Amino acid sequence: MTTKRRANRLSPEERTAGILHAARAVFAERGFNDTVMSEIAERAGVVEGSIYRYFRNKRDLMFRMAENWFEEMIEGDENTLGAISGTRNRLRFIIHQHLRSIHDHPDLSRLVFQHLRPEADYRETKLFALNREYTERVIDAINAGILSGEVRQDVSAALVRDVVFGCIEHRTWAFLRDEGDFDVGSLSDEIVALVWHGLAKQSVQDDIGGSLHRIENLLQNRDQSTSRKT
């Protein structure tokens, strides 16, 4: 009762955030089919009917939850990605972060891959637009590499994007089916090495060892800073 009285004093934005937080926890435990609104309401400290003031139905709630996840990933990567120089290093960062997101949040990955993306109107949703923004970072990195002379001019940036994310999805599918695991760092290195071999001009010389070390330090410092804030 105390929790529900406190929830009544929350702003609409705070209440929406609380419901989404509760939904994410319940979904992680139950999965898509077994997640029910009544349990989400109980976890959020509200009556079930109040959820429908902010979300039309379970489908709408699931889409909003996935949208929040993509917004978190895009915003979280923005500053670090902007500080990385070199096309190969940027690609490695993008690949590494995507693999880490899948590894750390298999529940949300399954939600997007298995339940939301196959929806008939998916291309008309905000989630589709966010996914496009998220994956187009590869296109931006390749186009910048072409301009800088690191990448061959005949390379299709869109095709590279498709190769990168298609490869990642295929290689992590067993993990998402609970049939194995993968090492984020090793798989990142394997994918970027394979892709870069087909992109780079012969004249490009990479100091990849030192650059990767600096990138890992940036990631470690960011994670430590995030941990201190929480």
pLDDT at 229 over 50: yes
What does the pLDDT read at residue 59?
Answer: 93
Structure tokens at 185: 């760092």
User: Per-residue pLDDT tens for 65-123?
Assistant: 999 999 999 999 988 998 999 999 999 999 999 999 999 999 999 999 999 999 999 99
What does the pLDDT read at residue 162?
Answer: 97
Q: Which residues of 102-120 are buried (b: 16+ CB within 10 A; e: fewer)?
A: bbebbbbbbbbeebbeeee
User: Per-residue pLDDT tens for 24-43?
Assistant: 999 989 888 899 999 999 99
User: Per-residue pLDDT tens for 170-225?
Assistant: 999 999 999 999 999 999 999 999 999 988 876 554 455 556 666 777 777 777 76
Structure tokens at 48: 């079930």
- 74 exposed, middle or buried (CB, 10 Å; 0-12, 13-18, 19+)? middle
Q: How far is CA 20 from the centre of its chain?
A: 17
- Residue 53, number of CB atoms within 10 A of its CB: 11
Structure tokens at 83: 């500080």
Given a contact cutoff of 8 angstroms between Cβ atoms, the answer to whether 108 and 32 are in contact is: no
- Residue 142, number of CB atoms within 10 A of its CB: 26
Domains annotated for the chain, with CATH where assigned, are 1-55 (1.10.10.60), 58-229 (1.10.357.10)
